[in-house]
């Protein structure tokens, strides 16, 4: 129902008599379906999609309704790109690095090993060339993307035995994101990619020797501490993984300018809120895990440095072999280097000083 | 114009015949004035208020219009609390720590020395008790606040001579925020509080020996490098200063639920965008400053540690003497300590490793 048909049906005279201002803001009722890659139990990852849908609903008096679905409910957890691309759903919410297999370029919308932290990702996306470049890439998948969350740096994951040296990695069946798997393969790691909901039994049964999921809050919910004692940090393959809202291009084009603006602000609100939620909830969860016997371990500098070199080599190869990657990565890498050179003088020194204090 | 009066004037039969859904979303046209504390030249601080106004305008098809005014244009830069409180303007955009003189409790909405970084502020505000506690405090000023920006940790400012020891601080006429001034007073610093627009001439004429404003991008625009050679870091009195949108309570209460939701999302979008903007623009500005001869200097550990102790002592005194402060600070301090203990294992190690690499 728009202003034009209101005027037609109710009669222009009556409308004018009532003093109705031009109703450019009046909008048709819309129902969309949003498929996520996440289990309902996670009020962080799944909950952020709900938060987005609520923000859109509230801003439109319930006229723009978005129903949110767990991974597998209407689309498989890792099938959401296809689902949006072919229009099975209008929207999805996912961690783009799951789609490394389609094209490693997806990972630049989320996280690559030794890449950006959350602050850097948002800066590159919103105020650098990031979002512009990624939208050019996503266009061929019929996707318009909106940054919609960032977990902050994740943990390195749960290990059944201690991993001190590069040699200790040999033969390790490790569930991690595919790009991290690629970086670790030269050291004999056998990478696995399994949706979150299926991880616990795999680690329990020994199908996996180690896994990483997110961080203390989510990991405690999924109970990984019950089946592995060592909890490594940091997850250097995801220094600030970004979540994306995917919207089918035709569905997006069909929205009014007002609805587009509402979606854009709701996504940005979800983005900042998710990081806030993780930062607020991880500390207590980490304390609880340590109280339950979890042993915290940093990755050794030997492992970090070897992995860093392996990652740089892969980036060099992709720059040569993958034209889509090449269109984006150099800009990403320059932004990363530039911001690190600034953060070294600003955030770095402040945070280090504060983390050393007894508060 | 709401649905009820539309029905009354156009006739319920006609409306029903036209299939009009309940038009809860149809909104009256509104014009608000937003007074900022900032000069128009700063596309970061002033520009963020414009970004907010545009997001609201776009989401409402231009029906909710907010005009944005520089400090002093309709309200003095430091008069915006009074302006919102007495309803002279519906809204303001400011750095709450300017209002230390009214009550140091304002600073907890923005930054206190050796306080939270940007991530921690947002986490405390949105997902801790921060926003709830601050709104209770602001209520007596007829203000409903919305976090609307964060600069990230700021620089320590521009100094005409090197400051290596606590003794070097003696007699220094230093423009900084009032809380930092209070922390530095025991060391003989003579603190000054001057709006941004008036700073350059004061430093040039020697009315000031040193000043701090924000960081490379804004500071370069205001030209401070031309009148002082040493640029100190980090600005430990503002590890992640938050900007606030202030809305007069009565004006807020008069908004529809949809407009309220639109304002809330637009403010959050502004919040994340401002930090992104600073993070994207500061690196090049810092390089340019260094190229122009600016000498970067870290505050010595002697100065940082002495200032840290001085700050803790003031917090202890305020806990005893200021009931408003006491209602909020213990929660703030606990959240700060908890998140630092988590960041030590996560962000801290990742960022440090990355900042050490040659990229």
- In percent, the amount of chain A with pLDDT more than 90 equals 89
> Are the beta carbons of B38 and B77 closer than 8 angstroms?
yes
Q: Facing residues of B297 across strands?
A: B232
Contact A1 B14 (CB under 8 A): no
Q: Report the pLDDT value the prediction gives residue A318, as an integer from 0 to 100.
A: 98
A26: pLDDT confidence band, cut at 50, 70 and 90? low
> Are the beta carbons of A357 and B114 closer than 8 angstroms?
yes
Q: Facing residues of B35 across strands?
A: B69, B92
Of the partner residues B29, B340, B359, the one whose CB lies closest to the CB of residue A337: B359
Rg (CA), chain A: 22
Is residue A214's pLDDT more than 70?
yes
pLDDT, tens digit (0-9, with 9 covering 90-100), for B225-254:
999 999 999 999 999 999 999 999 999 999
**Ordered DSSP codes for B75-117:** S-GGGHHHHHHTTSSSEEEE-GGGGGGT-GGGGGGT--TT---
Structure tokens at B146: 């919305």
Contact B357 A114 (CB under 8 A): yes
For tokens 């990702």, name the residue. Answer: A121
Q: Facing residues of A174 across strands?
A: A191, A210
Q: Report the pLDDT value the prediction gives residue B357, as an integer from 0 to 100.
A: 92
A23: pLDDT confidence band, cut at 50, 70 and 90? very low
Contact status of A3 with chain B (Cβ, < 8 Å): no
Q: Residue A56 and residue A47: Cα distance in Å, rounded?
A: 14
Q: Residue B221 and residue B244: Cα distance in Å, rounded?
A: 23
Contact A127 B340 (CB under 8 A): no
Q: Report the pLDDT value the prediction gives residue B25, as an integer from 0 to 100.
A: 44
Contact B275 A345 (CB under 8 A): no
Is residue A70's pLDDT more than 60?
yes
CA angle A91, A93, A95 (to 5 degrees): 140
At a CB cut-off of 8 Å and minimum separation 6, what does A113 contact? A179, A180, A183, A236, A237, A238, A307, A308, A311
* Cα nearest neighbour of A259 on chain B: B59
Contact A123 B277 (CB under 8 A): yes
Contact status of B30 with chain A (Cβ, < 8 Å): no
Q: Report the pLDDT value the prediction gives residue A24, as an integer from 0 to 100.
A: 41
pLDDT, tens digit (0-9, with 9 covering 90-100), for A223-251:
999 999 999 999 999 999 999 999 999 99
Of the partner residues B18, B29, B276, the one whose CB lies closest to the CB of residue A126: B276
* Cα nearest neighbour of A236 on chain B: B350
Structure tokens at B30: 């509104």
pLDDT, tens digit (0-9, with 9 covering 90-100), for B70-110:
999 999 999 999 999 999 999 999 999 999 999 999 999 99
Q: What is the mean pLDDT of residues A251-264?
A: 98
Distance from CA of B76 to the nearest CA of A (A): 30
pLDDT, tens digit (0-9, with 9 covering 90-100), for A122-132:
999 999 999 99
Chain B, window 243-262: residues with a beta carbon less than 8 angstroms from a chain A beta carbon: 256-258, 260-262
Q: Residue B46 and residue B70: Cα distance in Å, rounded?
A: 7
Is residue B4's pLDDT more than 80?
no
* Higher per-residue pLDDT: A10 or A115: A115
At a CB cut-off of 8 Å and minimum separation 6, what does B301 contact? none
Distance from CA of B310 to the nearest CA of A (A): 14
Q: Report the pLDDT value the prediction gives residue B221, as an integer from 0 to 100.
A: 92
Q: Report the pLDDT value the prediction gives residue B193, as an integer from 0 to 100.
A: 78
B28: pLDDT confidence band, cut at 50, 70 and 90? confident
Of A39-43, A101-105, A305-309, B259-263, the poorest mean pLDDT is in A39-43
Q: Tell me which DSSP letter residue A44 carries.
A: T
CA angle A128, A130, A131 (to 5 degrees): 110
Helix (H, G, I), strand (E, B) or coil at A34: strand
Chain B residues closer than 8 Å to A26 by CB: 23, 25-26
> Are the beta carbons of B45 and B218 closer than 8 angstroms?
yes
Is residue B26's pLDDT more than 70?
no
pTM above 0.90, yes or no: yes
- ipTM score of complex: 0.92
> Are the beta carbons of A65 and A30 closer than 8 angstroms?
yes
pLDDT, tens digit (0-9, with 9 covering 90-100), for B106-163:
999 999 999 999 999 999 999 999 999 999 999 999 999 999 999 999 999 999 999 9
Chain A, window 295-334: residues with a beta carbon less than 8 angstroms from a chain B beta carbon: 296, 298, 304, 308, 333
Q: Residue B59 and residue B64: Cα distance in Å, rounded?
A: 9
Q: Please, what are the domains in chain B?
A: 28-150+241-280 (3.40.190.170), 157-239+282-332 (3.40.190.10)
**Ordered DSSP codes for B1-57:** --HHHHHHHH-HHHHHHTTPPP-TT----EEEEEEESS-TT-TTHHHHHHHHHHHHH
Contact A349 B298 (CB under 8 A): yes
* Cα nearest neighbour of A120 on chain B: B279
Mean pLDDT of chain B: 92
Q: Tell me which DSSP letter residue A299 carries.
A: P
At a CB cut-off of 8 Å and minimum separation 6, what does A343 contact? A119, A120, B351, B355
At a CB cut-off of 8 Å and minimum separation 6, what does B316 contact? none
Cis geometry, peptide bond prior to residue A308 (ω within 30 degrees of 0):
no
Is residue A17's pLDDT more than 80?
no
Contact A308 B28 (CB under 8 A): no
Of the partner residues A11, A25, A153, the one whose CB lies closest to the CB of residue B61: A25
Q: Facing residues of B244 across strands?
A: B94, B147
Contact status of A62 with chain B (Cβ, < 8 Å): yes
* Cβ-based neighbour number of residue A4 at 10 Å: 10
Q: Report the pLDDT value the prediction gives residue A46, as an integer from 0 to 100.
A: 97
Q: Report the pLDDT value the prediction gives residue A37, as an integer from 0 to 100.
A: 96
Report the b/e string of A255-290 with b at 16+ CB within 10 A. bbebbbbbbbbbbbbbbbbbbbbbbbbbbebbeebe
For tokens 């007069």, name the residue. Answer: B248
pLDDT, tens digit (0-9, with 9 covering 90-100), for B258-288:
999 999 999 999 999 999 999 999 999 999 9
Mean pLDDT of chain A: 92
Of the partner residues A281, A337, A350, the one whose CB lies closest to the CB of residue B234: A350
Torsions phi, psi of B172, nearest 5? -70, 120
Contact status of A173 with chain B (Cβ, < 8 Å): no
Report the b/e string of B72-93 with b at 16+ CB within 10 A. bebbebbbbbbbbbeebbbbbb
Q: Tell me which DSSP letter residue B345 carries.
A: T
Contact A276 B11 (CB under 8 A): no
Nearest to A121 by CA among A215, A234, A244: A244
* Cα nearest neighbour of B4 on chain A: A18
**Ordered DSSP codes for B144-191:** EEEEEEE--SPP-EEESS---SGGGGTT-EEE--HHHHHHHGGGT-EE
Q: Residue A278 and residue A240: Cα distance in Å, rounded?
A: 12
Of the partner residues A11, A29, A279, the one whose CB lies closest to the CB of residue B120: A279
Q: Report the pLDDT value the prediction gives residue A90, as an integer from 0 to 100.
A: 98
Distance from CA of A76 to the nearest CA of B (A): 30
Q: Report the pLDDT value the prediction gives residue A5, as an integer from 0 to 100.
A: 42
- Strands B295-298, B230-233: pairing is parallel
Of the partner residues B1, B268, B354, the one whose CB lies closest to the CB of residue A239: B354
Of A129-143, A188-202, B102-116, the poorest mean pLDDT is in A188-202
Distance from CA of B39 to the nearest CA of A (A): 21
Q: Residue B153 and residue A343: Cα distance in Å, rounded?
A: 9
Distance from CA of B89 to the nearest CA of A (A): 24
Q: Report the pLDDT value the prediction gives residue B198, as an integer from 0 to 100.
A: 84
> Are the beta carbons of A155 and A174 closer than 8 angstroms?
no
* Higher per-residue pLDDT: A234 or A195: A234
Q: Is A149 left (phi over 0), alpha (psi -120 to 50) or beta?
A: left
Q: Tell me which DSSP letter residue B124 carries.
A: I
**Distances in whole angstroms, Cα of residue A291 to Cα of each of A223, A345, A358, B156:** 14, 36, 20, 39
Nearest to B344 by CA among A140, A88, A283, A91: A283
Torsions phi, psi of B247, nearest 5? -125, 130
A198: pLDDT confidence band, cut at 50, 70 and 90? confident
Is residue A19's pLDDT more than 80?
no
Q: Report the pLDDT value the prediction gives residue B196, as an integer from 0 to 100.
A: 74
Chain A residues closer than 8 Å to B341 by CB: 283, 286-287
Contact A277 B10 (CB under 8 A): no
The secondary element (H helix, E strand) that includes residue B268 is helix B257-291
Q: Residue A236 and residue A221: Cα distance in Å, rounded?
A: 22
- In percent, the amount of chain A with pLDDT more than 70 equals 93
Contact status of A150 with chain B (Cβ, < 8 Å): no
Q: Tell me which DSSP letter residue B300 carries.
A: P
* Cβ-based neighbour number of residue A1 at 10 Å: 17
Q: Tell me which DSSP letter residue A73 carries.
A: T
Q: Residue B38 and residue A71: Cα distance in Å, rounded?
A: 46
* Cα nearest neighbour of B276 on chain A: A123
Q: What is the mean pLDDT of residues A239-265?
A: 98
Q: Residue A85 and residue A100: Cα distance in Å, rounded?
A: 16
Of the partner residues B268, B275, B345, the one whose CB lies closest to the CB of residue A273: B268
Nearest to A155 by CA among A232, A237, A223, A222: A232
A193: pLDDT confidence band, cut at 50, 70 and 90? confident
The secondary element (H helix, E strand) that includes residue A330 is helix A323-343
Helix axis angle for A323-343 and B347-356, nearest 10°, is 100
How far is C-alpha A329 from the geometric centre of its chain's CA atoms?
18
């Amino acid at each position: 129902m728009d202003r034009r048909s209101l005027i037609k049906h109710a009669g222009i005279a009556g409308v004018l008599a009532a003093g109705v201002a031009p109703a450019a803001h009046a909008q048709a009722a819309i129902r969309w379906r949003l498929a996520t890659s996440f289990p309902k139990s996670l009020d962080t990852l799944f909950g952020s999609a709900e938060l987005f849908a609520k923000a859109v609903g509230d801003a439109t008096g319930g006229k723009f309704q978005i129903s949110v679905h767990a991974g597998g409910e209407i689309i498989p957890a890792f099938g959401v790109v296809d689902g949006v691309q072919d229009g099975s759903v209008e929207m999805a919410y996912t961690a783009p690095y799951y789609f490394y297999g389609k094209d490693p370029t997806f990972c630049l919308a989320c996280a690559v090993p030794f890449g950006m932290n959350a602050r850097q990702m948002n800066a590159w996306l919103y105020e650098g060339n990031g979002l512009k470049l990624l939208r050019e890439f996503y266009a061929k998948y019929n996707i318009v993307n909106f940054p919609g969350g960032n977990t902050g740096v994740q943990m390195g994951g749960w290990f059944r035995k201690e991993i001190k040296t590069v040699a200790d990695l040999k033969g390790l069946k490790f569930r991690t994101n595919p790009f991290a798997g690629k970086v670790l393969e030269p050291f004999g790691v056998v990478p696995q990619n399994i949706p979150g909901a299926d991880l616990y039994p795999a680690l329990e049964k020994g199908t996996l020797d180690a896994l990483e999921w997110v961080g203390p809050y989510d990991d405690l919910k999924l109970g990984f501490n019950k089946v592995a004692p060592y909890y490594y940090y940091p997850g250097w393959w995801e220094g600030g993984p970004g979540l994306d809202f995917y919207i089918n291009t035709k569905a997006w084009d069909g929205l009014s300018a007002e609805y587009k603006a509402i979606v854009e602000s709701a996504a940005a609100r979800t983005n900042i809120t998710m990081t806030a939620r993780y930062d607020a909830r991880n500390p207590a969860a980490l304390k609880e895990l340590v109280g339950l016997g979890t042993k915290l371990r940093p990755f050794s500098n030997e492992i970090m440095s070897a992995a860093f070199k392996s990652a740089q080599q892969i980036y060099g190869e992709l720059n040569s072999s993958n034209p889509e990657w090449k269109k984006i990565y150099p800009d990403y890498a320059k932004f990363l280097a530039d911001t690190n050179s600034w953060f070294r003088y600003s955030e770095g020194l402040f945070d280090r000083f504060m983390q050393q204090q007894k508060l």
